[in-house]
Amino acid sequence: MALEKEKQVMTNTDTDVDAKKVNPTSSYNNPDEVLQDKSLSREEKIAILREWHYDALRLQESESENMSGGEPDRLRSVSNALLELGVSPAKEADPKAEAKSSALNRAKRYVTGAMDTIRGKNKAH
């Protein structure tokens, strides 16, 4: 019976952490509060801050396209919190962002060049 209760508590804690990862602003007012949360392990803090970082990056991209939702820009404060945990925000890639591989860029340039040639834009002189 005690093992069942302990397992349920662990599951509830895991669910809480998962909920915090999905929407950090529903649980925290700022990234420093994540750092101060003693109920989280270092890895859980990093996971929550990474999600917040990805959200902040997407928000910044939306604002540059004039599609802001009124949320405050927290990219700097989230980046600073990640740095305090020894994680470089510059190396963090958004898993939901489009792939930007060099092979993809080369293929795009090749296709664009081929289409320009077909259309007569790249005529040899």
Q: For 79-119, write each residue's pLDDT tens digit.
A: 999 999 998 887 765 555 544 455 666 777 778 788 888 88
Instruction: Quote the distance between the C-alpha of residue 76 and its chain's center.
Output: 13
Helices (H), strands (E): how many in the chain? Answer: 5, 0
Examine residue 42 and state whether it is found in any structural domain, yes or no.
yes
| Number of domains the chain is built from | 1
Examine residue 60 and state whether it is found in any structural domain, yes or no.
yes
Examine residue 57 and state whether it is found in any structural domain, yes or no.
yes
User: In terms of C-beta density within 10 A (0-12 exposed, 13-18 middle, 19 or more buried), how is residue 54 classed?
Assistant: middle
Examine residue 124 and state whether it is found in any structural domain, yes or no.
no
Range of the domain at 62: 2-94
**Comparing C-alpha atoms, which of 11, 14, 10 is closest to residue 47?**
14
Termini Cα distance of the chain: 85
Examine residue 7 and state whether it is found in any structural domain, yes or no.
yes
* Pairwise CA distance, residues 34 & 48, whole Å: 8
- State the pLDDT at residue 3: 44
Determine which of 17-26, 38-47, 66-75 has the lowest per-residue pLDDT on average.
Answer: 66-75
- State the pLDDT at residue 103: 62
Q: Cα separations (Å) of 37 from 28, 51, 70, 111, 122?
A: 10, 16, 27, 51, 60
